[in-house]
Amino acid sequence: MTILQQSLSLQPYLTEIKRKIHQNPELGMAEFQTTALVKSELEAMGVAIHPLSGEVGALGILEGTAPGSGTPQVLGLRADMDALPIQETADVPDRSVVPGVMHACGHDCHTAMLLGAARLLSSMRDRFSGTVKFIFQPAEETLGGSDYMIDQGVLENPKVDCIISLHGHSGYRLGEIALREGPYMASSDFFTATLIGQAGHGAYPHRVGCDPILAASNSVMALQSIVTRQIDATDPIVISVCEIHGGTAKNIIPEKVRFGGSIRCQTPATRNSIEERIRKVLQGVAASYNCTAELDYHYGVPPLVNSPDLMQAVWETASRVVGPENVKRIDIPAMGSEDFSAYLERAPRGFFVRLGIQPPDRAHILFHNGNFVFPEEALPYGTAFFTQFVLDQNGGSGRE
């Protein structure tokens, strides 16, 4: 029996777990019920629970018993658990019972898939060597959960040699797996700019001589010159101003105007240069209007860069699970962000995989939407991929 066939036989279990989590969604850093469920399931499988200092998140550790050649690897498998502040409107049997909160990105399904892999692997310890770490992470949506888990030592004792994760994607058909080596997803950083002038009467702007609204408006436009004139056109970067605040009345020039936004970069080198570029633009524009500028810059998650030397191994694992004809190459990088990138910065090797979830007979699935529905028939494919990867990396007899 292939690993996919074994995973398909777990469909009732995977669906039950997914529905429990989906019906009781929890926001980032408040995944108390989800954490308790995960720990309870892992304990029932005989997977050791490694204690963490935080109240949310779980780490299960499973040791293989098969004799390995050389030094067995420590493999990390990661799933996210948090929901979103969205009211569910989809007509599903496990509709959220929490007002204004739902799983609109599939993290409930990712958690169920990884629990399924833990269940399979715990029943076949004699087919792999080394150590498997099952990492159940909170707060991916706020892009801070990975650092939280890393700070609690999930990559240490023993040190993880390789880590993988997956995420559902409606751009690929159910039963497909999509891969991209090297730079794939963007960093996510945020900034707030404050343009400071002098308050005055709207009828006499010449007496003020330093209008922060004018300075801020031109600063917003000038920031786009960084993308179009200072960065190589083949180097993806997005600077988006998403909020602007200033003024209290229609006849008063304000003293200050604030605006802020996000910056997304594909390469670490470009990312490391943007703060200073923005600062220079703001100061230059502000000075031309007799104003001053302040910049508050926050670094979020780094670019997600998949290990190129792992591409072939991941491709082979995916091919064993869904067939080589259903493994797709991702040609265009994404400007969205994913905090799995923090693990990839610290682990020697790692890979982030896209799992197709789009059924051919349904309308296009929209993420972060009240009508979002993750097809439950996709769950065994994620479980099979996690399981097969462990057997391929630390087994040999596990190859089907």
Nearest to 56 by CA among 109, 135, 156: 135
Which pLDDT does position 396 carry in this prediction? 55
Which pLDDT does position 366 carry in this prediction? 96
Which pLDDT does position 395 carry in this prediction? 87
Q: Where residue 398 falls among pLDDT bands split at 50, 70, 90?
A: very low
Which pLDDT does position 142 carry in this prediction? 95
- Within a 10 A sphere around the Cβ of 290, how many other Cβ atoms? 14
The mean per-residue pLDDT over the stretch 290-294 comes to 98
Which pLDDT does position 68 carry in this prediction? 75
Query: Is 125's pLDDT higher than 50?
Result: yes
pTM, full prediction = 0.93
Query: Is 397's pLDDT higher than 50?
Result: no
Burial class (CB in 10 A: 0-12, 13-18, 19+), 313: middle
C-beta of residue 44 within 8 angstroms of C-beta of residue 118: no
The mean per-residue pLDDT over the stretch 79-107 comes to 98
The mean per-residue pLDDT over the stretch 250-268 comes to 97
What are the residue boundaries of the structural domains of the chain, listed by start? 3-185+303-394, 188-301
Half-sphere exposure of 217 (CA within 13 A, CB side): 7
Report the top-level CATH class of 188-301. Answer: alpha beta
Instruction: Give me the helix-helix angle, 11-23 and 107-122, nearest 10°.
Output: 140
Quote the CA–CA distance of 38 and 17 in Å, as a whole number: 9
Segments of the chain assigned E as strands: 48-49, 58-63, 74-80, 131-137, 162-173, 177-179, 182-185, 188-196, 200-201, 237-246, 252-253, 256-265, 292-301, 304-306, 327-329, 349-358
Strands 252-253 and 304-306: unpaired
Quote the CA–CA distance of 41 and 118 in Å, as a whole number: 9
Strands 292-301 and 188-196: antiparallel
Which pLDDT does position 276 carry in this prediction? 98
- Within a 10 A sphere around the Cβ of 285, how many other Cβ atoms? 23
* Cα 18 from chain centre: 19
Higher pLDDT, 176 or 268: 176
Nearest to 29 by CA among 69, 10, 56, 66: 56
290: left (phi over 0), alpha (psi -120 to 50) or beta: left
The mean per-residue pLDDT over the stretch 97-114 comes to 98
Q: Domain 3-185+303-394 belongs to what topology?
A: Aminopeptidase (3.40.630)
Write the pLDDT tens digit of every residue in 186-205: 999 999 999 999 999 999 99
Quote the CA–CA distance of 35 and 91 in Å, as a whole number: 26
Query: Is 228's pLDDT higher than 60?
Result: yes
The mean per-residue pLDDT over the stretch 338-364 comes to 97
Write the pLDDT tens digit of every residue in 44-80: 999 999 999 999 999 999 999 998 777 889 999 999 9
